[in-house]
Amino acid sequence: MDFEFTEEQRMAIDGARRFAQEKLAPAVAELDEKGEVNLKALKELGGLGYLGMTVAEEDGGSALGAVAYAGSMIEFSKVDAGCAVAVSVQNSLVNDAVAHFGTPAQRKRFLPKLASGEWIGCFSLTEAGAGSDPASMRTTAKRQDGGFVLNGTKNFTTNGGIADAIIVFTRSEAPPGGKPGISAFLLTKDAPGFKVGKHENKMGIRTSSTTEMVFEDCRLPADALLGEEGKGLKVALATLDGGRIGIASQAVGIAEGALEEAVRYAKERVQFGKPIAELEGLQFMLADMATEVEVAKTMLFRVAWMKDAGKPRFTKEAAMLKLYASEMAHRVCHKAVQVHGGYGFMKEYKVERLYRDQRITEIYEGTSEIQRYVIARSILGA
């Protein structure tokens, strides 16, 4: 097994690191305070190929693969986790869903614009009463005049306020000879009857857009259907396997950033006449943090390799990865704040933001409890 990056992967990851330091770092504190998206930088990332990393070249992507994508996500997340999650949604949820389930016409229309950053995409699944249980969703799609009419409201949609392309999941009527189910639709922001609703004021990842998505007699043509009618849950579940790579990458990046800040501070902070880095108890804390980050990175690149290798199923491994990486990041960020003492509680210090940003990684794209459920069903053969 080769643990070395290829030259192409290394160049992509190094480029992501430079971009994060040069374009994201100078603005992130102010944008976090305001709750605003660095849309200019996000569009630039599209031009550099980072919004189409797993899209084939013939569809307008850079085709760099999941390993390069995971490594790049780590670098973005160290600096601006909100921008990173926008990159994750674009690559893992929107692009992958269109690439795997879209018709040739849908792929031709959407993927080049998404991969280049001309369009930003979002994936709208959650509702107020349907989070971990998507079967409880109440947004509906009814067939009418050869197309569909959508009604309902979606919650917590990442990229919602900046999205040009939208994937939305609805309850649908039973097709002839079939049963009612969940259907997925692919539309643009100018679809009649669609509007962006409430913009959420969040604890963390404040540099990302999180909104309601409102559908009021939203009329779509028949060719807006993504995948088969009534089988949209298959689209969601298959896409979320890859999405968990993105969120795990985000968690690893946040944790690695927190570790780096803790090490730097420990070397600078003097107590009892010497740097606190010389205290054995603190050294052990840093050693545990570094070990956990390294374990998560190893898991991450293994699952990313599985995706690149075309493994048909990596649901269990993706769930294990997302579970461990997100909870590891919680532990590491907690200790990083502790290393900083009272200063870790102050907004002037980066670890305060990293601590807030980390928390969502244990919730979105499947809570830790849902990951445990997925893993248990897999190992029990349920």
Which residue type does 118 have? E
Neighbouring C-alpha atoms within 13 Å toward the C-beta of 192: 7
Amino acid at 270: V
What gap in Å lies between CA 193 and CA 179, rounded to an integer? 27
Q: Is residue 32 within 8 Å of 84, Cβ to Cβ? A: no
Q: Active site includes 365?
A: yes
- Measured CA to CA in angstroms, residue 285 lies from 8, 262, 291 at distances of 35, 10, 10
CA end-to-end span of the chain: 31
| Measured CA distances, 183 to 59, 189, 237 (Å) | 24, 19, 12
Cβ–Cβ < 8 Å for 189, 197: no
In sequence order, which residues have a C-beta less than 8 Å from that of residue 26 and are 6 or more positions away?
none
Question: Cα angle vertex 279, ends 275, 285, to 5°?
Answer: 115
- Tally of CA atoms within 13 A in the half-sphere of 287 that contains its CB: 7
**Distance of alpha carbon 21 from alpha carbon 5, whole angstroms:** 21
Torsion of CA 173, 175, 180, 181, to 10 degrees: -100
Q: Which of 44, 216, 365, 369 is catalytic?
A: 365
Residues acting as catalytic residues: 365
